[in-house]
Amino acid sequence: MNDELLSHVLHDIEKQIIKLLQSTPNLTEEQLAHETKLSMDQIRRGVEWLRQKSLADVTDTTNLSYSLGKNGLDALKNGLPERKLVNLVKDGSKTFDEVRDSLQGPDFNAAIAHAKKNDWINIEKTDTGSKISLKQEPTESQDEHVISLIDKAQKPRPDLVKSLMERPDFVIQHEEKTKTVSLTEPGKNIDLEKLDSGAIDVEADVPHMHAARIHPLKDTINEIRETFVHLGFTEINGNLSQSSFWNFDALFTPQDHPARELQDTFYLKDLNAKQLATPTQIKNVSNAHKKGWRYYWDIQEARRMVLRTHTTCVTIKHLADKKPDEARIFSLGRVFRNEKLSFKHLAEFNQVEGVVVGKHMTLRDLMGIQKEFYRKIGLTKVKFWPTFFPYTEPSLQSMVYNEKLGKWIELFGMGIFRPEVTKPLGITKPVLAWGGGIERIAMLKFGVDDVREFYNNNLSWLRTATKCQ
Amino acid sequence: MPVVELSLSRLEKLIGKNTNKKQILDSLPFLGLDIESLGRNVVRVEYSPNRPDYSTDFGIALGLQGILGISKGMPRLNIRKKGNYEIKVDNSTSRIRPFVTGIIARNGSLDDEAVKQIINMQEDLHFGLGRKRKKSSIGVHDLDRISFPLKYTTTSRDHRFVPLNSTKESSISEILRDSEVGRDYGLILGQSAKVPIITDAKGQTISFPPIINAALTTVTTKTKNILVEVTGIDKQSAEDMLSVVVAILQGAGFQFSQLKVSGSKNSTPDFAPRSIVFDADPVNKILGLTISNSMLVSCLKKCRLDAVRKGKKIQCTIPRHRFDIFGGMDIVEEVALGYGIDNLKPAWPASVHIGEKNTTSEKLDSISRLMTGFGFMETLNSTLTSEQILYEMTNKDSSQIISVISSKSQEHTILRDSILPGLLENLSKNIHETYPQKFFETGIVFSKGSPIKETTNLACVSASEETNFSEMKSVLQSLFRIGFSIKCETKTLSEHALFTQGRVAEIIVGKKTVGYIGELDSKVLENFRIRTKAVAFEIKLNGLIFD
């Protein structure tokens, strides 16, 4: 798309070209440039636009020009070999050997052949060898004529040059392609003066406009937040930096669990939480670990600050502090994993987690809420498989079918918080939780196959990214 | 999640009774096994870390038999008490690795594939349950090379034997220094002068736990009878691990004899199953089902547990290796699996709840809408960034830096204390795109507090040849007026690392500084390779429009 192709019927460049061609019908692009004082580049663009609009025709012609090669320059100075030959025999016939003294190698053969062709000489076989004698006064040959024309920068006819072209390095041929522009009938009939009346080309292409936009991932986050609210969930939030206590211990993750190692979790250097939780909460969590995992539970380990590995730490703290009998809450935001970045893994990404608390809540209800959630964001084919999460039991994962990819994709996980998690924190009603990464959904929505794209902030992508569902 | 590679034709044979590959593939996910990749005959599945028995096809075949209804209930385990297999534990081990347990498995046959599966199991157990061999570790030996009784004791680091996969004798110190396993796991033994060792009645070394076995007892495809020993720092987890091995070897067709263990707080392992008695009612309630007690019993049996009706209650018997079952909720999951997750129909809970967004989210939303209205594109950057972007390129003071430990990515080593450097980085990456470029971002920034303070900031930047301070101040003022209904002032600031002297101001609301606004310093722009002018502001939103 050329930005110059604005809405006027004809661009000023086009008008200038048309004006010129209406008075001088056939002109090359060079001539047009010369006459209009426009650059070659402008002329080429203008001609191309006119051609697309069927206002002008372009004929490609190839012009041949010639210059003298090494042998040609020599011939200009000293004569062609055949001229040299006739000069030698001008004053009387000579034998081959005598001629060879002056004309050697290929020159000799060429001289004989061309002098004979020009009908300048006779060759007579005698006892002492072949003898060359002048047949008639040699006039200027065609080849000589061509050489002198080229020397005078005049263009010889290509058919005349042919014979000289066959001889080595006498003439160099140059091909030059030129475009000759002429107007078509509609082009000839354009009334340039009338065009300036203000009519515009309403059908012409126009430049794209860049809108300032909400980031595509944020757009998905907003949609998911709205959907949770529609389903009756209330948003809670909490810090990105958390004590290990709420991120791990309160969720019954033993202190020697592999997930707590440096290679999976970001620990903050030299930072420990001073206040963890209420003394009862700490005591009960500690006891649950001792009973369930049989080890010495170390409060210092629980004080270590981490970047939260899930939003569950926010949910569990809310539940432990509020102990609701019934609730629908959700928490959404950044979570962190010490991962190598790849097309499917980020060190920092977004997660959402919803929790339903209620005396009569069932696993089937949780599946139903999830199915409704997917329906609302446009994912209609859903199925469930069993899986494992350390702090829920039973645990399920949901799969949604992606028509475009033609396969099932694992999305949110879900489950009922283990009693080992809820009991020590004084939560007595069943807590059903579900959630997962948001980037995955955004990838489906924006047809992105490398998750890093969301954080590249590549302006051309931000300007053009489109939602596919 | 760990992964195991399975041969479908082998699985068919192990399951027996006319099963086909399609049936197997359809059923795997309903055992909680995710199909990771599928070849003509090979399928790779992810299994849950709480089911180490699924680390081999033997264990998976047992699960599939149940769920397909081919063979239900708990496989019976027979352990012969006769025989003179014994290991005596020396007190000296109590300071370094106090517990040992084991089993004798006989009359089995291990082909290449079976050996591969057993190795996979061993690696999985070492990594997960064994906490990288620290908590417990396994040794598998050719029984026929060993004379009983065995001794579990300690020895000095100059003790010599021929380690596995070697033909020459090495000292313990040499093994720890020169071999890969030695270097990987040697730290478990710390600086202790004495290290654990298992020797047989002839005084031959058979194992140096938790590092390496002796070459003497190498298991090959010709091996028929094996000894499995597990050592560890926790008796129960060593026995847990052994029980998984026994369940798998049972699936592989071995017969068992007891290994008597005695001395120094050790005892012979007990493989007796446990029982849990429970009410059917709460199980039905939590699943949202109304299935009969006999159906419940059948569901549990499909999960290779035993169950009987006891009056109104149900008694469930759990084999030793299912130590992942803690209590009632785990039974609920087993019932759900036996019932078939596919048969659980999603329901819609009737309840009235009014959902609500968090105030912060709502206010940030309205800021985003206003900023895009002003023509600014929203960008998103990580809160984890690099020293280079946050401090070096911006010439900012880095004394209050907050770092994470051992990040795998150089671009994610510290927490941002402001958003603007990220926006400059965004401009830097887009210098080939058309101008003007205008970006904004809202998000969390961090500062040291007790122990750490998180606040939400807004930053925006405008870059083009024509931009200037007034343009940005117009945006700032309009944002405050329309968005926040707050009046703000800008007050000359003598200097700021990011901005040009004489073209930078503090943003004041009431009497408090809430941010900075200015034209970016040419040095800073140069560091980011930005070739146009740029103006920016950043404000702290906490205390301004939310707490």
DSSP letter for each residue of A69-83: -HHHHHHHHH--HHH
Rounded-to-integer distance, Cα B85 and Cα A136, Å: 128
In this prediction the pTM is 0.77
CB contact set of B411 (below 8 Å; sequence gap of 6+): A341, B382, B384, B385, B386
CB atoms A340 and B409 under 8 Å: yes
Chain B nearest C-alpha distance from A44 (Å): 25
CB atoms A457 and B371 under 8 Å: no
Query: Could you tell me how far CA A445 lies from the centroid of its own chain?
Result: 20
Nearest Cα neighbor of B443 from B430, B459, B428, B427 is B459
A216-464 in CATH: which number? Answer: 3.30.930.10
CB atoms A240 and B378 under 8 Å: no
Chain B nearest C-alpha distance from A414 (Å): 13
Decide if domain B79-267 falls under CATH 3.50.40.10. yes
Q: Write out residues 322-351 of B within 8 Å (CB-CB) of A.
A: 326-330, 332-333, 336-337, 341-342, 344-349, 351
Kindly indicate the confidence band of residue A469, based on its pLDDT and cuts at 50, 70 and 90.
Answer: low
What does pLDDT average to over chain B?
92
Instruction: Classify A210 as helix, strand or coil.
Output: coil
CATH topology assigned to domain B3-67? Phenylalanyl-tRNA Synthetase; Chain B, domain 1 (3.30.56)
Beta bridge partners of A171: A68
Nearest Cα neighbor of B397 from B356, B355, B447 is B447
pLDDT for A141 equals 85
- pLDDT tens-digit profile of B502-547? 999 999 999 999 999 999 999 999 999 999 999 999 999 999 988 8
The minimal CB distance from A364 to the residues B48, B128, B347 is found for: B347
Chain A nearest C-alpha distance from B379 (Å): 6
Decide if domain A68-170 falls under CATH 1.10.10. yes
- Contact criterion met (CB below 8 Å) for A333 and A350: yes
Chain B residue numbers with beta carbons less than 8 Å from the beta carbon of A218 are 368, 378, 380
CB atoms B408 and A340 under 8 Å: yes
Q: What percent of chain A has pLDDT over 90?
A: 46
CB atoms A395 and B333 under 8 Å: yes
> Position A396: which residue type?
L
Kindly indicate the confidence band of residue A198, based on its pLDDT and cuts at 50, 70 and 90.
Answer: low
- pLDDT tens-digit profile of B389-429? 888 888 888 888 999 999 998 899 999 999 999 999 999 99
Chain B nearest C-alpha distance from A459 (Å): 6
The least confident of A335-344, B10-19, B367-376 is B10-19
- Contact criterion met (CB below 8 Å) for B532 and B454: no
- pLDDT tens-digit profile of B179-233? 999 999 999 998 889 999 999 999 999 999 999 999 999 998 888 999 999 999 9
CB atoms A456 and B429 under 8 Å: yes
Chain B residue numbers with beta carbons less than 8 Å from the beta carbon of A265 are none
Decide if domain B359-540 falls under CATH 3.40.640.10. no
Mutate to test the interface with B, among A336, A337, A385, A439 (most CBs of B within 10 A): A385
Residues A77-95 have a mean pLDDT of 83
Sign of dihedral through CA atoms B119, B121, B122, B123?
positive
ipTM over 0.90: no
The minimal CB distance from B356 to the residues A235, A347, A458 is found for: A235
Chain B nearest C-alpha distance from A246 (Å): 15
Instruction: Classify A250 as helix, strand or coil.
Output: helix
pLDDT for A6 equals 36
- Contact criterion met (CB below 8 Å) for B141 and B75: no
In this structure, chain B runs to a length of: 547
- pLDDT tens-digit profile of B267-316? 899 899 999 999 999 999 999 999 999 999 999 999 999 999 988 899 99
What does pLDDT average to over chain A?
88
B274-341 in CATH: which number? Answer: 3.30.56.10
Beta bridge partners of B140: B228
pLDDT for B535 equals 97
Domain extents for chain A?
68-170, 216-464
pLDDT for A4 equals 36
Domain extents for chain B?
3-67, 79-267, 274-341, 359-540
- pLDDT tens-digit profile of A291-347? 988 889 999 999 999 999 999 999 999 999 999 999 999 999 999 999 899 998 999
pLDDT for A66 equals 85
B3-67 and B274-341: identical CATH topology:
yes
- A244 to each of A251, A315, A336, how far by Cα in Å? 10, 15, 13
Nearest Cα neighbor of A210 from A441, A444, A3, A468 is A3
CB atoms A268 and B404 under 8 Å: yes
Assess whether pLDDT exceeds 70 at residue B70.
yes
Instruction: Classify B177 as helix, strand or coil.
Output: helix
